[in-house]
Amino acid sequence: MRIKGLKNALGTNGMFVCGLGIVAAMSALAIFAPLLAPYPPDETHLKYILEPPCSAFPLGTDRLGRDVLSRLLYGGRVSLWVGFVAVGISVSIGSVLGLISGYFRGLIDEAVMRLVDIMLCFPSFFLILAVIAFLEPSLTNIMIVIGLTSWMGGARLVRAETLSLRERDYILSSKLTGCRALYILFRHILPNAVAPILITATLGIAGAILIESGLSFLGLGVQPPAASWGNMLMDGKAAIEIAPWLSIYPGLAILITVLGYNLLGESLRDIFDPRLKR
């Protein structure tokens, strides 16, 4: 039924179609950046420093004469890569802990939930800032830290779904036939708990992109000369009065991408749980 509802959403849920279209478009621009970018992202044109948008440079140039459009396309690859990898880490941790906590309950459940409560006591962005401050700012460290500090919501959702599924007749039948706990968890419960995992992952990508952009804007994320939307915003801050395009276009890219993933995640939540529809 859930799969059928997802298929029907293509024709009936405008928010789903809009979100999916934005996500697909931004992903395609990032994937095909080497083909679409008019210049290499680090190529400088010293005669055209802070050139406004024109035919040669559709989105203008920055203070080093680099093409903003090219850097925007390549920066999208970095931001989306961070989003996917960080969410992959957080969803993996959250799903495993949620399954174990909801299925075994008792002391294991209490220990996992208390760990979740402790992690939630710290504001996630400031926790990430504190960890990054002790590490070398790099793309790998950013992805790992974001993933290790954003699994709590997914763990709670998967745990709640597992608590419901563990009482179903087919789970009880599997127990009676002697199936091991791990087999039941990953063969029966996990496939039926895919809805909250998918929703968490979709919304989590938007959050990871925002966190990476914030870290790069503060100088703790992706380091120059590599392009990311966050450090493009940081570069544009110094020249915002004379070259506003340096801040407008990266900001719009972040806004549109995050909006697309949020629309997609919210529509998936409505599809998989019709009780949440307003």
Confidence of residue 126 (pLDDT cuts 50, 70, 90): confident
- Dihedral angle sign, alpha carbons of residues 29, 30, 35, 39: positive
Q: Concatenate the DSSP letters of all residues of 260-273 into one string.
A: HHHHHHHHHHHHH-
Q: What is the mean pLDDT of residues 4-19?
A: 65
Q: What is the pLDDT of residue 103?
A: 87
Model pLDDT for residues 157-188, shown as the tens digit of each residue: 899 888 888 888 878 887 778 778 888 888 88
Q: What single DSSP character describes residue 51?
A: P
Confidence of residue 5 (pLDDT cuts 50, 70, 90): very low
Shortest CA distance to 230 belongs to which of 243, 208, 244, 214? 214
Q: CB under 8 Å to 87, separation ≥6 — which residues?
A: 147, 150, 201, 204, 205, 208
Q: CB under 8 Å to 40, separation ≥6 — which residues?
A: 70
Q: What is the pLDDT of residue 150?
A: 87
Half-sphere exposure of 69 (CA within 13 A, CB side): 17
> What is the C-alpha separation between 84 and 74, in angstroms, rounded?
16
Report whether pLDDT(16) > 70. yes
Q: How far is CA 230 from CA 52, 88, 108, 236, 258, in A?
A: 21, 21, 40, 10, 13
What's the chain's average pLDDT? 85
Answer yes or no: CATH 1.10.3720.10 is held by domain 2-36+70-256+265-276.
Answer: yes
Q: Per-residue b/e over 142-160, b at no fewer than 16 CB within 10 Å? A: bbbbbbbbbbbbbbbbbbe
Q: What is the mean pLDDT of residues 7-21?
A: 71
Q: What is the mean pLDDT of residues 34-59?
A: 89
Q: What is the pLDDT of residue 273?
A: 64
Looking at beta carbons, which pairs linking 11-16 to residues 24 or more positions away fall under 8 Å?
13/267, 13/270, 13/271, 15/263, 15/266, 15/267, 15/270, 16/263, 16/264, 16/267, 16/268, 16/271
User: H/E element holding 120?
Assistant: helix 106-120
